[in-house]
Structure 1
Amino acid sequence: MSCSKVLSAVFGATFSLALISSGMALAAGSHVAGHGMMQEMKIGQPGDPAKVSRTIEITMYDNYYEPESLEIKEGETVRFIIRNAGEFVHEFNIATAAMHEAHRPEMMMMMEHGVLEPDRINLEAAKAMQASMGHGMHDEPNSVLLEPGKSGEIVWTFPEHADLEFACNVPGHYETGMHGKVKLSH
């Protein structure tokens, strides 16, 4: 069995056990599938900190977020303070459901290359993956990836008429409930 398959099996078993039993000042990279201006416009854009209308605190646990959904005004600029209170690496990513689905294979690849370990981000593995594949950790303004106990921040301006959600795309996490709706209002 390859090292990546062993790591995947161990991570899956560990995560499942944690879910059953629970019923880096590094915002080290963030990412979104389908990079580019058209995708960014569809989901909003990085916000100007001087135009923030409010701050929302997000706490990530091992199979859910608190709060579980968000109500945002169209065009509103929000500062998110995100804290990982779980035992595993988690992501807070603002995108469409289709973008999250497209992004999950990338996150699986990061796990298979040892970048994402259950409870830490392996920056040496990220550098090796970047050197060998031209792809590793990214820094996208709509997302933050955090180790347990760490916090990060996103300032985001929301679009009009979008069907958005926030989610964790670490393998297996979305499927166990780590996603929530963003309800946009006028």
Structure 2
Amino acid sequence: MFLRKPLLLAACLLALGSPAWASPTHTFDFGQPAPAAKATRSVEVVMGDMSFTPKAIGIKAGETVRFVLVNKGQLLHEFNLGDVAMHARHQQEMLKMQQSGMLTPTGMKEMDHGAMPGMDHGMKHDDPNSVLVEPGKTAELTWTFTKGTELEFGCNVPGHYQAGMVGKLTVGP
């Protein structure tokens, strides 16, 4: 009987700390994810080890683009849409994931890292502007770009962005 209250308290604390409650709402001032059926065009992006081809992509504001991401490298890579500041923040999260053993050179392990030291939310690499692609695999990301801006597409796996795995994405009028 005397354990009921501490157990109830522990259960409540665990529930409040779970990723379902702790995940931030993802909003982006440059657009939002879209279903592939809404795409007005497709752009193939080939991921090599430490490179993207093409290195620059032009988009029109209002356009919905289906990115077809082909990893021809030997390592896990990421395709992530954002500005320089967003990439810097995401790189810190990815580094913590690597340090925890969740992120490996060729894949991602399923782990509950909401309780990882230094993580302020339960990131599961489910950001809508980002996708991980294992070696030899193909993935897709479809996005509607709502306004003109200068962005980057980058791989934020630790060290990859710094090694040059970043490209320019210009959204024009």
TM norm. shorter chain > 0.5: yes
Percent of aligned pairs sharing the same letter: 44
Q: CA deviation at 1:136?
A: 4.3
Contact conserved, 2:100 with 2:116, CA < 8 A, in 1?
no
* Total equivalences in the alignment: 147
Contact conserved, 1:43 with 1:94, CA < 8 A, in 2?
no
1:46 paired with 2:33, answer yes
Question: Which residue of the partner structure matches residue 16 of structure 2?
Answer: none
1:143 paired with 2:130, answer yes
What amino acid does structure 2 have at the position aligned with 1:178?
M
Question: Which residue of the partner structure matches residue 83 of structure 1?
Answer: 70
Question: Which residue of the partner structure matches residue 18 of structure 1?
Answer: none
Question: Which residue of the partner structure matches residue 185 of structure 1?
Answer: 172
Measured in 2, the distance between the counterparts of 1:122 and 1:85 equals 21
Measured in 2, the distance between the counterparts of 1:122 and 1:49 equals 27
Q: CA deviation at 1:179?
A: 0.5
Question: Which residue of the partner structure matches residue 81 of structure 2?
Answer: 94
Question: Which residue of the partner structure matches residue 5 of structure 2?
Answer: none
Query: Per the alignment, in what secondary structure is the counterpart of residue 56 of structure 1?
Result: strand
Larger of the two Rg values belongs to structure: 2
1:60 paired with 2:47, answer yes
Question: Which residue of the partner structure matches residue 104 of structure 1?
Answer: 91
Contact conserved, 1:164 with 1:181, CA < 8 A, in 2?
yes
Q: CA deviation at 1:43?
A: 2.5
**Structure 2: stretches of 5+ with no match in the other structure:** 1-23
Query: Per the alignment, in what secondary structure is the counterpart of residue 122 of structure 1?
Result: coil
After TM superposition, the score normalised by the length of structure 2 is: 0.78
User: 1:133-166, CA deviations, whole angstroms, 9 ceiling, x for partnerless residues?
Assistant: 6624232221101211112111100121222110
Question: Which residue of the partner structure matches residue 36 of structure 1?
Answer: 26
Question: Which residue of the partner structure matches residue 12 of structure 2?
Answer: none
What amino acid does structure 2 have at the position aligned with 1:95?
G
Distance change in 2, residues 1:119/1:36 (3 Å) = closer
**Structure 1: stretches of 5+ with no match in the other structure:** 1-33
Which consecutive aligned stretches of 4+ in structure 1 deviate over 6 angstroms post-superposition?
A: none
After TM superposition, the score normalised by the length of structure 1 is: 0.73
The alignment's C-alpha RMSD in Å is 1.8
Question: Which residue of the partner structure matches residue 148 of structure 2?
Answer: 161
What amino acid does structure 2 have at the position aligned with 1:65?
F
Contact conserved, 1:54 with 1:78, CA < 8 A, in 2?
yes
